[in-house]
Structure 1
């Protein structure tokens, strides 16, 4: 678990993420979560990219196995079930708090008017992108983002087991 500010990103981190994503990363401000082997799992990205583009997704999931597992969940249509969990007042309040925490983390790297109040993954009222919610949960640690935590628990990928050396898991 990492919280801002992040330690400096290394050239090795950038190389691993390039391999993971098949392209260079833009606007990296830190590695927000790592695989147990040390490879990046979640990158923190500046709220405004170097070319000037606003970028609301501060916590960006890069680990191929994690991304694939969350894609499977989305394809299996678990998002409506997770959204239904927001009908519980306690869960909804925790999700709103996760949204505020996300915005506060990103604000430490600049305020961008075009994305003011916008976090990621549908927060604070919808469930839109499990990748973003899981990325936040991994970066912030258990108990901060209840829907991100649930998505990780439902997935076949685990942050406690390295699969970086397995075929298709880049890193």
Structure 2
């Protein structure tokens, strides 16, 4: 376990200077466009950041929920390498209930991003391939961690698939 923050803000979504330092460490670069901490490790360090829909340099950025925790990122990458995205996409084509729930996750994502402002270039585009395919497990896990269980079915599924490697209720910082 790495050093834990001395204190967390009263509102855990608020970004502190220490959070920005941790994010730079996690990402290996300076974080961009961070407007909040969408999910935290049980030790208080960021798991998922909430990012502005337009970065400071003007670039449109559809990934509102950006997975930052190295253990979670590595677990998502392993799932992607195993072909899980293809399998999930295939299931969307045959499971109407799953497809409907995934469309609702897409709508939730868009609504949360709209709270941060409208960016014409990415209007109607969420992230991770929603609502018709799966192209990024990292995004789906980030959304599931930020929104909580039951909002993004494939994000929830991905978290369950990696639970033997990484879990949000156990600090591996």
How many pairs are equivalent? 160
Query: Equivalent of 1:109, from 113, 116, 123?
Result: 116
Q: Secondary structure at the match of 2:21?
A: helix
CA contact (8 A) 1:6 1:29 kept: no
Q: Distance in 2 between matches of 1:38 and 1:153?
A: 22
Which aligned segments of 4 or more residues in structure 1 are displaced greater than 2 angstroms? 5-8
TM norm structure 2: 0.90
Q: Which residue of 2 aligns with 1:134?
A: 141
Q: Which residue of 1 aligns with 2:79?
A: 73
What's the offset of the Cα at 1:8?
2.4
RMSD (Å) for aligned C-alpha atoms: 1.2
What's the offset of the Cα at 1:79?
1.3
Q: Which residue of 2 aligns with 1:28?
A: 34
Q: Secondary structure at the match of 1:9?
A: coil
Q: Structure 2 unaligned runs (5+)?
A: 1-10
What's the offset of the Cα at 1:7?
3.6
Q: How does 1:76-91 map to 2 (within 5 A)?
A: 76-86=82-92, 87-91=94-98
Q: Which residue of 2 aligns with 1:168?
A: none
Q: Secondary structure at the match of 1:25?
A: coil
CA contact (8 A) 2:50 2:64 kept: yes
Q: Distance in 2 between matches of 1:78 and 1:54?
A: 28
TM norm structure 1: 0.91
